């Protein structure tokens, strides 16, 4: 188990405002799992260039949306930076 944590960036209110409760719960579940990966979170999800690091995408509910996150080893944190929900 990793000592990494996760957080919203810029804020929970900004990113989750107006989203269904179930979507927010799924985002938080995924963020918890990403933080548990620790440094390996840099390899999770996808990125257009298929390289580690940088802003990465992770699908929600089979493609009905996605979250974008940044794994920052220096902070030992996964930051949820954007949530896109198509509904």
Give me the domain span that covers residue 48: 5-85
Burial-class residue 66 by CB neighbours within 10 Å (0-12, 13-18, 19+).
buried
pLDDT, one tens digit per residue, over 44-74 is 999 877 777 789 999 999 999 999 999 999 9
Count structural domains, the chain.
1
What pTM does this model have?
0.91
Which of 84, 79, 78 shows the shortest CA–CA distance to 9? Answer: 79
**Angle at Cα 43 formed by Cα 39 and Cα 47, nearest 5°?**
135
| pLDDT at site 84 | 97
How much is the average pLDDT of 13-18? 97
Q: Give the CATH number for residue 46.
A: 3.30.2310
Report whether 64 contacts 87 (CB < 8 A): yes
d(CA 47, CA 53): 9
């Amino acid at each position: 188990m990793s000592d990494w944590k996760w957080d919203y960036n810029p804020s929970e209110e900004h990113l989750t405002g107006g989203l269904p409760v179930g979507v927010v719960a799924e985002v938080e579940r995924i963020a918890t799992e990403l933080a548990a990966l620790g440094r390996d979170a840099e390899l999770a999800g996808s990125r257009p260039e298929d390289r580690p690091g940088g802003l990465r995408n992770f699908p929600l509910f089979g493609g009905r949306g996605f979250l974008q996150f940044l794994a920052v080893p220096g902070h030992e944190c996964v930051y949820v930076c954007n949530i896109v929900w198509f509904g």
